[in-house]
Amino acid sequence: MEYGFGSGHTKILSERDALPGASTTAFSYDPGTGYAKHDTLKNRLGYWIKFDSPQDIIMEGDPIPGDSMTVVAGWNMIGSISTPINITSISSDPPGIATSNFFSYRGTYVVSDSIKPGQAYWVKVNHAGTLMLNTSTASVPSNRIKIVPERELPPVPPEHDGSGSPGTLPKEFALAQNYPNPFNPVTTIRYQLPVASQVKLHIYNLLGQEVRTLVDEMEEAGYKRVEFNAGSLPSGVYFYKMTAGAFTDIRKMILIK
């Protein structure tokens, strides 16, 4: 089973020394150094944990109605509190920290609109500070975070051999097969950039005619994704071509309505 957090066979615990059924230690993440192993899980942090089979983990302790999560510039894994909270109500210190979307993991990264108990979430912030989750009092609007969606996805999970992944960036250019494929009418295209690059991603029909431009801009290094909505196009075979510096790749996809 894959590494992950908060989905089915994977749970996030707090202040636990034992992980019944876990086949690895837990991994936290720091954008400067990458993944690190832990035998004890602490409040406020999020962790990757791998289990060999689906199971329920009991979390004991006093309810936590609110908490403050320290974050650093870049990607962070944060923990949760005892009550669900909408991400639009999260405040920050300093006020108005810019963040990416919040991501949970369900075999792949999924954008989340709320923070749920027992789960952990990825979020990217523009500079260091504190995120404050609290259900007992309403946050002042001017103090709330500013969510700025972007194409970059969180770092890949720790390596499956349990050694952890020391780096945060891909080692080479790559264009992945879109998923799902065939699709109707929306599919996701993922790609990776080891260095900042001028990226072009175009969609073509069987006649070689360009039907859509998905990306045409300078992008920072990292793992990227973009959605292609073909709702206005007829069924058929299409090709998508990516160019980034000297790298070029083309893949085929099928639209079935």
pLDDT at 192 over 50: yes
C-alpha 36/C-alpha 74 separation (Å) is 16
Cα distance between residue 211 and residue 205, in whole Å: 7
Q: Does residue 104 or residue 16 have the better pLDDT? A: 104
pLDDT at 24 over 60: no
Dist. CA 123–CA 118, nearest whole Å: 17
- CA 71, CA 32: separation in Å to the nearest integer? 12
- For the chain, the first-to-last Cα distance in angstroms comes to 33
* Mean pLDDT score across all residues of the chain: 80
What percent of the chain stands above pLDDT 70? 80
pLDDT of 38 > 50? The answer is yes
Q: Kindly list the structural domains of the chain, giving each domain's residue range(s) and its CATH number in brackets, ordered by start.
A: 26-147 (no CATH), 174-255 (2.60.40.1930)
% of the chain surpassing 90 pLDDT: 41
pLDDT, position 206: 95
Half-sphere exposure of residue 28: CA atoms within 13 angstroms, side-chain side? 17
pLDDT tens digits along 149-160: 877 788 877 754
Which range scores top for mean pLDDT: 56-70, 124-138, 162-176, 212-226? 212-226
Instruction: Assign 244 to helix, strand or coil.
Output: strand
Q: Give the residue-averaged pLDDT of 40-63.
A: 72
Mean pLDDT value across residues 51-72: 76
Following CA atoms 121, 122, 128, 129 in sequence, which dihedral angle do they give, to the nearest 10 degrees? -20
Q: Give CA torsion, residues 32, 51, 44, 66, to 10 deg.
A: 150
* Residue 170 pLDDT grade (very low, low, confident, very high; cuts 50, 70, 90): confident
pLDDT at 58: 66
* 131 vs 135, more confident: 131
pLDDT digits (tens, 9 = 90+) for 87-112: 999 999 999 999 999 998 776 678 89
Per-residue pLDDT, averaged over 105-120, amounts to 82
Confidence of residue 241 (pLDDT cuts 50, 70, 90): very high
Which has more pLDDT, 23 or 83? 83
Range name among 9-13, 178-182, 211-215, 243-247 with the lowest pLDDT average:
9-13
Whether the pLDDT of residue 138 is over 70: the answer is no
**pLDDT for position 203:** 98
Q: Are 166 and 205 in contact (CB under 8 A)?
A: no
- 29: phi then psi, degrees, rounded to nearest 5: -140, 135
Q: Do 147 and 88 contact (CB within 8 A), yes or no? A: yes
**Spatial contact of 8 and 1, defined as CB atoms under 8 Å apart:** no
- CA 188-194-196 angle, to 5 degrees, is 90
Tell which residue, 140, 247, 136, 254, has the closest CA to residue 199.
247
Our CA dihedral for 12, 15, 20, 23, rounded to 10 degrees, sits at: 60
Mean pLDDT calculated for residue range 195-223: 94
Helix (H, G, I), strand (E, B) or coil at 68: strand
Cα-only R_g, the chain: 20
C-beta of residue 44 within 8 angstroms of C-beta of residue 68: yes
